[in-house]
Protein backbone atom coordinates (compact mmCIF):
# COMPACT_ATOMS: atom_id res chain seq x y z
CA UNK A 1 0.00 0.00 0.00
CA UNK A 2 1.05 3.58 -0.59
CA UNK A 3 4.83 3.96 -0.28
CA UNK A 4 5.80 0.32 -0.92
CA UNK A 5 3.44 0.19 -3.90
CA UNK A 6 4.85 3.37 -5.46
CA UNK A 7 8.42 2.22 -4.87
CA UNK A 8 7.80 -1.18 -6.44
CA UNK A 9 6.20 0.56 -9.44
CA UNK A 10 9.21 2.88 -9.74
CA UNK A 11 11.46 -0.20 -9.82
CA UNK A 12 9.50 -1.60 -12.78
CA UNK A 13 6.92 -3.81 -11.10
CA UNK A 14 3.37 -3.50 -12.42
CA UNK A 15 0.02 -4.02 -10.78
CA UNK A 16 -1.91 -6.95 -12.25
CA UNK A 17 -5.05 -6.65 -10.15
CA UNK A 18 -6.62 -3.87 -8.12
CA UNK A 19 -9.10 -3.91 -5.30
CA UNK A 20 -10.59 -1.77 -2.59
CA UNK A 21 -11.09 -2.42 1.08
CA UNK A 22 -12.91 -0.90 4.00
CA UNK A 23 -11.60 -0.35 7.48
CA UNK A 24 -13.19 1.06 10.57
CA UNK A 25 -11.83 3.21 13.33
CA UNK A 26 -11.74 1.76 16.81
CA UNK A 27 -12.24 3.96 19.84
CA UNK A 28 -11.10 2.90 23.29
CA UNK A 29 -12.68 4.21 26.44
CA UNK A 30 -15.16 7.05 26.42
CA UNK A 31 -13.68 10.01 24.58
CA UNK A 32 -15.63 13.21 24.23
CA UNK A 33 -17.70 13.14 21.05
CA UNK A 34 -16.39 16.55 20.02
CA UNK A 35 -12.78 15.32 20.32
CA UNK A 36 -13.57 12.46 17.94
CA UNK A 37 -15.27 14.86 15.54
CA UNK A 38 -12.22 17.18 15.64
CA UNK A 39 -9.90 14.25 14.91
CA UNK A 40 -11.85 13.20 11.81
CA UNK A 41 -12.21 16.81 10.63
CA UNK A 42 -8.41 17.08 10.87
CA UNK A 43 -7.99 13.89 8.81
CA UNK A 44 -10.37 15.22 6.17
CA UNK A 45 -8.55 18.56 6.08
CA UNK A 46 -5.13 16.90 5.80
CA UNK A 47 -6.35 14.69 2.98
CA UNK A 48 -7.71 17.72 1.13
CA UNK A 49 -4.34 19.48 1.47
CA UNK A 50 -2.50 16.40 0.19
CA UNK A 51 -4.94 16.06 -2.73
CA UNK A 52 -4.33 19.66 -3.79
CA UNK A 53 -0.53 19.43 -3.81
CA UNK A 54 0.66 15.83 -3.26
CA UNK A 55 4.18 16.69 -4.43
CA UNK A 56 4.64 18.75 -1.27
CA UNK A 57 4.19 15.65 0.87
CA UNK A 58 5.42 12.60 -1.06
CA UNK A 59 8.97 12.94 0.31
CA UNK A 60 7.58 11.79 3.67
CA UNK A 61 7.20 8.30 2.22
CA UNK A 62 10.92 7.87 2.75
CA UNK A 63 10.19 7.67 6.48
CA UNK A 64 8.53 4.29 5.83
CA UNK A 65 11.74 2.75 4.46
CA UNK A 66 15.18 1.88 5.80
CA UNK A 67 17.89 4.40 4.88
CA UNK A 68 19.54 1.96 2.45
CA UNK A 69 16.65 2.46 -0.03
CA UNK A 70 16.50 6.27 0.04
CA UNK A 71 19.07 6.87 -2.74
CA UNK A 72 17.02 4.69 -5.10
CA UNK A 73 13.76 6.52 -4.43
CA UNK A 74 12.31 9.33 -6.51
CA UNK A 75 9.13 10.30 -4.68
CA UNK A 76 8.34 13.29 -6.92
CA UNK A 77 5.97 11.26 -9.10
CA UNK A 78 4.46 9.15 -6.33
CA UNK A 79 0.78 9.62 -5.60
CA UNK A 80 -1.18 10.66 -2.53
CA UNK A 81 -1.52 7.11 -1.17
CA UNK A 82 -4.47 5.47 0.48
CA UNK A 83 -7.71 7.38 0.57
CA UNK A 84 -10.05 7.89 3.47
CA UNK A 85 -13.65 7.82 2.29
CA UNK A 86 -15.93 9.34 4.86
CA UNK A 87 -18.95 7.11 4.38
CA UNK A 88 -21.33 5.76 7.00
CA UNK A 89 -21.01 2.08 7.88
CA UNK A 90 -24.61 1.10 7.26
CA UNK A 91 -26.48 -1.70 8.97
CA UNK A 92 -26.77 -3.50 5.63
CA UNK A 93 -23.03 -3.41 5.01
CA UNK A 94 -22.39 -4.49 8.60
CA UNK A 95 -24.71 -7.49 8.23
CA UNK A 96 -23.25 -8.51 4.86
CA UNK A 97 -19.71 -8.26 6.24
CA UNK A 98 -20.60 -10.19 9.38
CA UNK A 99 -22.17 -12.98 7.30
CA UNK A 100 -19.21 -13.13 4.91
CA UNK A 101 -16.75 -13.42 7.81
CA UNK A 102 -18.87 -16.17 9.39
CA UNK A 103 -19.16 -18.10 6.12
CA UNK A 104 -15.39 -18.03 5.64
CA UNK A 105 -14.67 -19.12 9.23
CA UNK A 106 -12.24 -16.26 9.78
CA UNK A 107 -12.99 -16.36 13.50
CA UNK A 108 -14.15 -19.23 15.68
CA UNK A 109 -17.93 -19.30 16.04
CA UNK A 110 -17.68 -18.14 19.65
CA UNK A 111 -15.34 -15.29 18.61
CA UNK A 112 -17.64 -13.53 16.17
CA UNK A 113 -19.19 -11.13 18.65
CA UNK A 114 -22.86 -10.33 18.98
CA UNK A 115 -23.52 -9.40 15.37
CA UNK A 116 -25.67 -6.55 16.63
CA UNK A 117 -25.10 -3.38 14.63
CA UNK A 118 -26.38 -1.05 17.35
CA UNK A 119 -24.01 -2.53 19.94
CA UNK A 120 -21.03 -2.68 17.57
CA UNK A 121 -21.07 0.79 16.05
CA UNK A 122 -21.26 4.39 17.09
CA UNK A 123 -21.51 7.53 14.98
CA UNK A 124 -20.11 10.93 15.88
CA UNK A 125 -21.31 12.47 12.62
CA UNK A 126 -23.28 15.68 12.82
Residue ranges making up the domain that contains 61: 3-87
The total domain count for the chain is 1
**pTM score, two decimals?**
0.71
pLDDT tens digits, one per residue of 28-37: 899 999 999 9
Residue-level pLDDT at 41: 93
- Sign (positive or negative) of CA dihedral 117, 119, 121, 126: positive
Q: Is residue 124 part of a domain?
A: no
Residue-level pLDDT at 91: 94
| Measured distance CA(34)–CA(11) in Å, rounded | 44
End-to-end CA distance of the chain: 31
pLDDT tens digits, one per residue of 37-52: 999 999 999 999 999 9
List per-block mean pLDDT (blocks of 10 residues) for the chain, which spans 126 residues: 91 90 85 93 94 94 96 94 86 93 90 88 78
Q: Is residue 70 part of a domain?
A: yes
Q: Is residue 96 part of a domain?
A: no
Residue-level pLDDT at 126: 63
Q: Is residue 68 part of a domain?
A: yes
Amino acid sequence: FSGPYYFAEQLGFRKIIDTTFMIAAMIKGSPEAEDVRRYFRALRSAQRDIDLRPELYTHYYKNEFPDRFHAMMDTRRWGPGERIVFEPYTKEVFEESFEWIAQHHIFAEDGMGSGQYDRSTISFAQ
